[in-house]
Amino acid sequence: MHRLLLPLILAIGTGNSPAEQPFIEYQPGTLPLVLAAPHGGTLKPVDLPNRNFGRVAQDTNTAEIVLALAATLEAKTGQRPHVILCRLHRTKVDCNREIKEAAQGDPAAEAAWHEFHDACATACEAVTQLRGCGLFLDVHGHRHEEPRVELGYLLTANQLAMSNTALDQETTAIEQSSIRELVARSGRNLSALMYGPNSLGSLLEARSILCVPSPTKPAPTPGADYFSGAYDIQAHGSRDGGTVSAIQVECPWKGVRDTADNQRAFVAAMAESLLQYFPAVFKMPLATQKRQK
């Protein structure tokens, strides 16, 4: 327990020499927040075979966004979130898929996959022990036509398109959501958590970052591409138990990931939003130390 309070930065390598950059990087923190970037890696070691099927596009600048968000939160609170980065390029491993599609039978890719998910599990356990509950954000990048941040809660576009009354009455929607435990904890309806006041989409939009779902756009445009979330938030959110809820955060290229200024604006908006989201929804402040600037 006390070890977690130290400003330790662990970088654990898998299958590569100590002089090289580790495949998986885990920086433990003390905030009840876990930030992961499974697709931001650039390493393409020649001794690791390329994957033969599945998506292989890198989510450019997502590792940078996660590290900047961690630094911004530390500057504001004096505490850091847990950070987990896959430094391998997605042609080598896809940590946001089950192991068969992720590693395609290669032992080194499988070891990296396990290391990524063990780090996520360790971080979520530490969050639960220290604060009782928390949030896991899986940060990605998309290039869909509409440049909104797509927030994935494991609900389909069709479910989000239902009326708020119908959505709130559909108990299966709550049960399949990656923020399942947060519905009970917050005392709010599922629709309110998706696009009501103090939903993550509403807090980001108040800071000029357009999102879906959000008050201005509760559901994706019918037929448009939308990422509702995948393996990481299924495995590490509260759908199947626990008190850590999870959201997949898909950042568009245009307006968020494309320039250093846009990355800074998004990171500032997300940091401010999270400081408001925790007391509103988790019923506790994000940080236990008071050092907000």
Footprint on this chain of Zn ion (rule: CB under 5 A): 39, 59, 140
Nearest residue (CB) to Zn ion, 76 versus 140: 140
Q: 3-state DSSP call for residue 36?
A: strand
Q: 3-state DSSP call for residue 273?
A: helix
Q: Measured between alpha carbons, how far is residue 86 from residues 35, 63, 93, 171, 211 in Å?
A: 12, 8, 9, 35, 25
Q: Which residue is nearest to Zn ion (CB)?
A: 140
Nearest residue (CB) to Zn ion, 239 versus 257: 257
- The closest of 178, 217, 219, 202 to 269, measured between CA atoms, is 202
Bridge partner residues of 38 (DSSP): none
Least distance to Zn ion, CB of residue 288, Å: 32
Alpha carbons 195 and 149: distance in angstroms, whole number: 13
Nearest residue (CB) to Zn ion, 23 versus 278: 23
Least distance to Zn ion, CB of residue 172, Å: 26
Least distance to Zn ion, CB of residue 135, Å: 18
Nearest residue (CB) to Zn ion, 63 versus 173: 63
Q: 3-state DSSP call for residue 212?
A: strand
Least distance to Zn ion, CB of residue 144, Å: 12
**Structure-block tokens of residue 280:** 């509103």
